[in-house]
Structure 1
Amino acid sequence: MSLLETRARTGALATVNPVAKLGVSALIAVPLILTLDPVSAAVALALEFVLFLFAGIGWREFWVRTWPVWLAAPLTGLTIALYGQTSGVVYVDWFVLRISEGSLALALATMLRVLAIALPSVVLFITVDPTDLADGLGQIVRLPARFVLGALAGLRMVGLFLDDWRALELARRARGVADRGRIRRFLGMAFALLVLSIRRGAKLATAMEARGFGAPGRRTWARESRFGAAEWLLLAVGAAISGIAVAAAVVTGAWNFILGPSA
């Protein structure tokens, strides 16, 4: 375990059940999906940063883990600014590009909404262990055990895929195969990894069936997944963030229900 992962597991949210983290992410995301305005997204984003302080991660790890979100949000806003719905004063009108007052406001709201929805999903799940999440989904949410355990086994294989890719690269380099042509080398390694993955998946499925993972009847679990006061408190915080963000948008008149007549 790396130093960053060790530090992240010391935060107040590190021991919270992953189901609660999944629930709070949904509580924050759903209201923001239903509206497209800068006020609700900005208020939710500001409150989320307060919640992130209890995640137990340093700023360096925060930027390392979330940089794709910070890159995608401005690109999404740029697209809306260039090709969004035109309203108000038109600043640029050239060929298919039309930048107006309305498209810029829509771009800002979209960018803030992307950040407010995506950042909690990334930050809260940094300390989530896949096995703990599977235990919670199976015992608390009551999802089918076959589905949960199959997804867990597949997720555990992701790390092996990376190791297999490096091993294939080193083996091909040692044999002098496909030293030239990056596209040819990539396609060859991808096909080899696909064949290896299918074989490994078949063996894993057979092994799980042999151990009774697909047997009918009520399943027992090695570890009990608890959902207590800390989990309910986190859900309450998520509901409060959503409520305050929606209330701020309604009070300021910025609320824009995208499924309504104003969409």
Structure 2
Amino acid sequence: MIVTGPVGTATAPLARRNPVAKLAAALVFSFTLVATIDPVAPAVAIAIELAVLPLFGVRYATLARRAWPLLLSALGVVFTMVLFAADRTGTLLLDAGPVTVTTGVLASASGLALRLVAVALPGVLVFATTDPTDLADALIQNAKAPPRFALGALAAFRMLPLLAAEWQLLGMARRARGVDAGRNPVARLRLFAATAFALLVGAIRRGTRLATAMDARGFDAGTPRTVARRQRFTVADTALILGAAVLAGAALTVSILLGTFQPLLG
């Protein structure tokens, strides 16, 4: 089952900040790192993110369970770059037939993989410590987002556990009918594609019914809406955004001082 609610301690110093402030801080911290392609700046950024993790009330084991697909993606980036990178400059480290590994390839691959983790990890922290309903309320009240967009995103976010449950149901239904791929990788791939297509069709049908039901209940009436829970944007929330900008600048400064800074453009 996919958990969409917060998994951190709600009373932690940064976990109780305004959802829009946390989202803005994550965006500021992440997109600043896009300015360079060297591995030092994202490595420093990851160290900072792990250091402030207790302030969000999230355990390291919980973060590992949530972010393991991200780590697999980073490893996939390194593997792909090592095999297919065009730039093979630097000292030769390994020459195994078609696979040639150099220091230049490793630097590029590690920089891209670390930047992927450093950019995505703040978003993982935000959604791991934010209630989806609070985020929708804050988007409407503080970010002045259209209610149709915010409430629609909230409804879609709440449907994620249903998709996970339906995926398991489809798998059990196919096994009950004797449809099993066994140890054949090609059959497994075919079965996965068929199950994914069935899940997509079911998701589209459920989304259409949900949209019709929300329109029938006046969610698209266009009239001014009231809010039941106020989301206040305080000085501490502003300080969180400024702090994220300062820390991101510190990561870039370390890269510049060490002479490894490589601008993305130029």
Which TM class, normalised by the smaller chain length?
0.7 to 0.9
Partner of 1:252: 258
Q: 1:193 to 1:258 in 2, by over 3 A?
A: closer
Structure 2 segments unaligned to the other structure (5+ residues): 182-187
Give 2:116's aligned amino acid.
V
Say if 1:179 and 1:185, in contact at 8 Å, map to a contact too. Answer: no
Mark the CA change 1:229 to 1:97 in structure 2 (over 3 Å): closer, same or farther: same
- Residue 83 of structure 1 contacts residue 99 of structure 1 at CA under 8 Å; is this kept in 2? no
What's the counterpart of residue 210 of structure 2? 204
Report if the CA contact (8 A) 2:39-2:114 is conserved.
Answer: yes
- State the percentage of identical aligned residues: 40
Contact 2:7 2:58 in 1 (8 A): no
The residue that corresponds to 1:243 in the other structure is 249
Find the partner of 1:225 among 222, 226, 231.
231
Query: Are the counterparts in 2 of residues 81 and 106 from structure 1 also a CA contact under 8 Å?
Result: no
CA 1:112–1:162: 2 relative to 1, 3 Å: closer
Where structure 1 has 5 or more consecutive residues not aligned to the other structure, the ranges are none
Decide whether aligned partners of structure 1 residues 185 and 81 sit closer, same or farther in structure 2, where only a CA change above 3 A counts: closer
| Structure-1 residue corresponding to 2:47 | 46
Task: Classify the secondary structure of the residue corresponding to 1:16.
Answer: coil
2:81 is the counterpart of 1:75: no
Going from structure 1 to structure 2, the CA distance change for 1:187 and 1:92 (only over 3 Å counts) comes to closer
Alignment partner of 2:159: what SS?
A: helix
TM-score, structure 1 length as denominator? 0.83
CA distance in 2, matches of 1:64, 1:98: 34
- Residue 113, structure 1, aligned to residue 115, structure 2: yes
1:132 maps to which residue? 134
Deviates more, 1:183-192 or 1:151-160: 183-192
Aligned residues: 255
Q: Deviations over 1:209-236 (max 9, x none)?
A: 2221111243322222221123112212
Task: Show the 5 A alignment for 1:13-92.
Answer: 13-84=14-85, 85-92=87-94
**Partner of 1:222: helix, strand, or coil?**
coil
Measure the CA separation in 1 of the matches of 2:197 and 2:109: 41
CA contact (8 A) 1:146 1:214 kept: yes
- Asked whether the equivalents of residues 83 and 103 of structure 1 are also in contact (C-alpha less than 8 Å), the reply is no
Counterpart in the other structure of 1:98 = 100
In 2, Cα distance between equivalents of 1:247 and 1:21:
23
Asked if structure 2 preserves the Cα contact closer than 8 Å seen for 1:83 and 1:98, the reply is: no
Classify 1:99/1:240 alpha carbon distance in 2 versus 1 (closer, same or farther; 3 Å). same
Do 2:41 and 2:252's aligned partners in 1 also have CA atoms closer than 8 Å?
yes
Matched, 1:216 2:217: no
Partner of 1:141: 143
1:36 deviates by 0.6
Question: Pick from 228, 233, 240: which aligns with 1:234?
Answer: 240
